């Protein structure tokens, strides 16, 4: 190692605004840009550097994997990690990021949307990957590939594979009480493209849209991308407060809601509120998008019918995703469109949102549903998640030794752990992330100036009660 190398790997300082892994990440980037680290240079091993800097090995690994995923470093297995030999130094030496003033509204990436490049414990929004029926999936996939004909290789039908649209319509009828035909089901690549589809087809730039507060940050970003102004509407024990929404923005074009389990607080939208929301939409010619990201996962009782099943005026778009009930890397979702809007969505979809999902994915999922694997998988996951949830809560509370209690909730895929003190969740979440634990700070999901403070943590991948207990201990020590 040459002398300047030492700067790069000088001790890291505890700074509340920048977690340790990110400090290291930035230093390595800077060293490469400055030429201190050259393409082909070998990096110290994570173990050695962790010891050297006195931080957790997970911190180093997180920084390395981030740098690797972005092409700065190259992992060479046994041969260790090196600076990517393909990096073009001259180009790198010029400043690569535009000044912040270039950023356009809606472009900001809140930390909450940042994801580590590997799956970390308690990470939100990821199904139980260990429990997915991979053998069945591989069998259906191999069968599809063996039987693939030229017609399967042409452009996919613009609104989705007919067999998949039919399978989803039948499933929704039975499991979510939605009375729809296959022609109302439009295949998308997930929530992002479903919401963008509605925004593009029906909404005018400059309009306003209710979003739940706290609520999913990506939703606000997508709306801004389409020139819409998200109006935060508070939620309480009954879900979104419709009267508050009307007072804030009665003339909004749209309300985006999570009726099954409010995202992220997990309460269900009460029946009176559902009715009030539908009444507002019908009388104001407003639209409602129901984001039913995990409606199947309810442990206290049967899943509730979807809001769309109560819609008598054709105002509700129902958005579903396979990210949560199958697995996230599948990139497949759908939008159920009220009958009177089908022609508009066919037109817009054909022009602008057509056929973004590979036929192979659509065909395998259609078979998975039609042959009954889907319904069985959801049943099994409902049971498994109920167990993992109970175990995680028990272990976490053991570690917490009574200092805090997990908030009771009827369903969903994550837990809410309230903390004392406004915004106290952020430094704690950052510190835990540096230790390789991916909990999220509730205050980052909030638009309010005085947000509640809580940690959000998923239990679906938590297979080790010891890990949950350890997390409880870390939180207790930090309080």
Residues forming a β-bridge with 457: 415
What lies within 8 Å, CB to CB, of 251 at 6+ separation is 208, 284
Selected binder of a copy of itself within 50, 56, 133, 141 (CB under 8 A): 141
* Whole-angstrom Cα Rg for the chain: 24
Contact between 172 and a copy of itself per CB under 8 A = no
How far apart CA 348 and CA 346 sit, in angstroms, is: 6
Kindly state the smallest distance separating residue 134's Cβ from a copy of itself, in Å: 6
Indicate whether 384 belongs to the interface with a copy of itself (CB under 8 A): no
| Residue 87 makes contact with a copy of itself by CB under 8 A | yes
76 binds a copy of itself (CB under 8 A): no
Query: Does residue 138 belong to the site contacting a copy of itself (CB under 8 A)?
Result: yes
Task: Report if residue 450 touches a copy of itself, rule: CB under 8 A.
Answer: no
Given the rule CB under 8 A, which of 50-58, 63-71, 390-398, 425-433 is the region that contacts a copy of itself?
63-71
79 touches a copy of itself (CB under 8 A)? no
Rounded distance between C-alpha atoms, residue 256 and residue 293, angstroms: 12
Least spacing, CB of residue 220 vs a copy of itself, in Å? 11
Phi, psi of 283 (to 5 degrees): -80, -25
Residue number with CB closer to a copy of itself (50 or 360) = 360
The CA distance from 416 to 389, in Å, is 12
CB neighbourhood size of 140 (10 A): 19
* 273 interacts with a copy of itself by CB under 8 A: no
Q: Contact region for a copy of itself (CB under 8 A) — 218-226, 248-256, 393-401, 405-413?
A: 218-226
| 89-128 positions binding a copy of itself, by CB under 8 A | 91-92, 94-98, 102-104, 107-109, 113-115, 117-119, 125-127
Q: Which of 50, 182, 375, 474 touches a copy of itself (CB under 8 A)?
A: 182
DSSP tag of 465: H
Place of tokens 């895929």: 413
Whether 242 and 282 have beta carbons less than 8 Å apart is answered as no
Contact call for residue 447 and a copy of itself (CB under 8 A): no
Residues 289-328 that bind a copy of itself (CB under 8 A): 314, 323, 327-328
Please choose, out of 342-350, 401-409, 452-460, 469-477, the segment that lies near a copy of itself by the rule CB under 8 A: 342-350
Instruction: Output phi, psi for 2, to 5 deg.
Output: -85, 170
Q: Report in angstroms how near the CB of residue 428 gets to a copy of itself at its nearest.
A: 24
Q: Report helix, strand and coil shares of the chain as percent, to nearest 5.
A: 45, 15, 40
Residues in the chain: 479
């Amino acid at each position: 190692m040459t002398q300047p190398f030492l700067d790069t790997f000088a001790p890291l300082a505890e700074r509340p605004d920048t977690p340790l892994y990110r400090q290291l990440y930035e230093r390595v980037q800077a060293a490469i840009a400055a030429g201190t680290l050259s393409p082909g240079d070998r990096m110290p091993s994570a173990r050695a550097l962790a010891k050297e800097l006195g931080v957790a090995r997970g911190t180093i690994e997180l920084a390395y994997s981030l740098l690797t995923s972005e092409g700065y470093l190259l992992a060479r297995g046994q041969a260790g990690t090196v600076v990517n030999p393909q990096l073009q130094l001259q180009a790198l030496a010029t400043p690569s990021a535009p000044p912040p003033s270039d950023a356009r509204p809606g472009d900001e990436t809140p930390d909450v949307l940042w994801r580590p490049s590997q799956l970390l414990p308690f990470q939100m929004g990821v199904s139980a990957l260990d429990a997915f029926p991979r053998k069945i999936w591989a069998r259906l996939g191999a069968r599809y590939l063996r039987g693939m004909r030229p017609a399967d290789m042409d452009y996919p039908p613009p609104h989705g594979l007919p067999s998949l649209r039919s399978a989803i319509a039948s499933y929704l009828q039975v499991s979510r009480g939605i009375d729809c035909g296959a022609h109302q089901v439009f295949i998308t690549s997930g929530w992002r493209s479903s919401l963008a589809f509605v925004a593009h087809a029906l909404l005018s730039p400059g309009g306003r849209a209710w979003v739940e507060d706290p609520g999913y940050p990506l939703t606000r970003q997508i709306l801004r991308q389409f020139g819409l102004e998200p109006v935060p509407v508070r939620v309480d024990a009954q879900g979104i407060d419709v009267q508050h929404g009307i007072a804030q923005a009665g003339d909004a074009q749209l309300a985006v809601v999570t009726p099954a389990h409010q995202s992220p607080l997990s309460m269900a939208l009460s029946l009176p509120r559902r009715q009030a929301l539908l009444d507002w939409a019908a009388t104001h010619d407003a639209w409602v998008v129901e984001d039913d990201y995990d409606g199947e996962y309810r442990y206290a009782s049967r899943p509730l019918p979807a809001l769309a099943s109560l819609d008598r005026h054709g105002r509700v778009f129902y958005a579903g995703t396979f990210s949560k009930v199958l697995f996230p890397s599948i990139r497949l979702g759908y939008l159920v469109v009220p009958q009177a809007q089908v022609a508009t969505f066919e037109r817009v979809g054909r022009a602008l949102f057509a056929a973004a999902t590979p036929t192979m994915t659509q065909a395998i999922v259609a078979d998975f549903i039609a042959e009954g694997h889907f319904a069985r998988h959801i049943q099994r996951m409902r049971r498994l998640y109920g167990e993992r949830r109970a175990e995680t809560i028990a272990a976490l509370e053991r570690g917490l030794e009574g200092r805090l209690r997990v908030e009771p909730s009827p369903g969903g895929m994550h837990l809410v752990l309230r903390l004392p003190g406004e915004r106290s969740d952020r430094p704690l979440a950052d510190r835990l992330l540096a230790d390789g634990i991916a909990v999220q700070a509730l205050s980052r999901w909030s638009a309010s100036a005085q947000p509640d403070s809580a940690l959000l943590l998923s239990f679906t991948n938590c297979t080790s009660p010891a890990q949950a207990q350890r997390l409880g201990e870390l939180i207790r020590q930090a309080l």
